[in-house]
Amino acid sequence: MLEKRHQLRPRFRVMSNETIALGPGKIDLLRLVAETGSISEAARKMGMSYMRAWTLVQTMNRCFTSDLILSARGGKTGGGARLSALGRRILELYTEIETSSMKAAAPAWRQIKNFLAR
């Protein structure tokens, strides 16, 4: 099996004034909340505390016109979290930015790889 030693990993940040509204970590959190239905489970999978994840959720929700992640407290009914319609759309659009940037960067990246030590 061929090992991939060199990778191109663009990292985009969406700024709202001085606040990072979206970036790689927040996008990972969105993806994991969508997958798990839980902020705490998403945080565990990312190796971060629930409080850190909750702070990121609050920041994202404040930066957009409506909440990206909707949550319900635990207890008898169980609680949980899910992406809102806007959260799903923002995730799609951010993924589109990542995909289109990789396509645009491909010719230059092929050239750079030729100069990297093997």
> Tell me: the pLDDT tens digits for 4-62?
789 999 899 999 999 999 999 999 999 999 999 999 999 999 999 999 999 999 999 99
pTM summary value: 0.86
- Which CATH code of 3.90.420.10, 1.10.10.10, 3.40.140.10, 3.90.550.10 fits the domain covering 14-115? 1.10.10.10
Written as six digits, the tokens of 69 are 């992640």
The set of residues, in sequence order, having a beta carbon less than 8 Å from that of 10 and lying 6+ positions away, is 98, 101, 102, 105
For the range 91-95, what are the long-range contacts, defined as Cβ-Cβ under 8 Å and sequence gap of 24 or more?
91/27, 91/30, 91/31, 91/34, 94/12, 94/14, 94/22, 94/27
Q: For position 73, what pLDDT does the model report? A: 75
Q: For position 78, what pLDDT does the model report? A: 66
| pLDDT, tens only, 57-84 | 999 999 999 999 999 876 556 679 999 9
